Structure formats: C-alpha cells, structure tokens
Amino acid sequence: MQTVVAFFVIGALGIFPVVALVVQIYRDSRGKKRNLAMRCYACESAGHLLPVPHYKGDTFLYCLSCVEKQAGNRRIFGYAAFCGIVVVLVGWAVLSSNK
C-alpha cells in the first residue's frame, strides 16, 4: 500500500508538469499561427477577438465564446490543483503515519 501511494504521488508529480508543458508548447505554437491570421487562439474562428493575457505574460486573441470557456477552464484548473494538493497531502500523511 505504502509503495503504491509513493509511486502514485511521485509519478503524478513528475509526469503532470511534463505533459502540461508539452501541451502548452503545442497549443502556443498553434495559437500564435492562428492569431497571426487574425483567428481565435483556441477554435480558429474569425470575427471579434478579445486579448487574453496568459500566465507567462504573453497575450493571445480569443473569440468571445472561448473567452468564456477560458474563465470556466481556470475554475476547473483551480479545482484540479486543489485535488492535486489534497492527493499529495493524503499520500504524505499515509507515508509518514506508517513509519
């Protein structure tokens, strides 16, 4: 049980940032090309675009429906980050209580 929890926690901590980074790099290069063509970063639709600052400091253009989706995604990401922290804390508590 201990080993499984430790493996899970270490695996989740190690793999998640790498996957997130790769996805981010891919989405950024795709989104930059779309923005240069005056199309939405996320869904490639043309029309009225709004600038949305990313956490890295870059600003990209999104259509209105994707701006709304982004706001929803931020809530989901916050929830996922919260769950991740809970998993780490529970894993740490299990490991330290079994010493």
Residues that bind Zn ion (CB under 5 A): 40, 42-43, 63, 66
Distance in Å, CB of 55 to Zn ion, minimum = 19
Distance in Å, CB of 50 to Zn ion, minimum = 10
Distance in Å, CB of 22 to Zn ion, minimum = 22
Under 8 Å between Cβ of 12 and 84: yes
* Residue with Cβ nearer Zn ion (5 or 44): 44
CA distances from 78 to 20, 73, 83, 94, 95 (A): 14, 8, 9, 24, 26
* Residue with Cβ nearer Zn ion (9 or 40): 40
Q: Which helix (H) or strand (E) holds 70?
A: helix 64-97
Q: Which helix (H) or strand (E) holds 15?
A: helix 2-36
* Residue with Cβ nearer Zn ion (9 or 49): 49
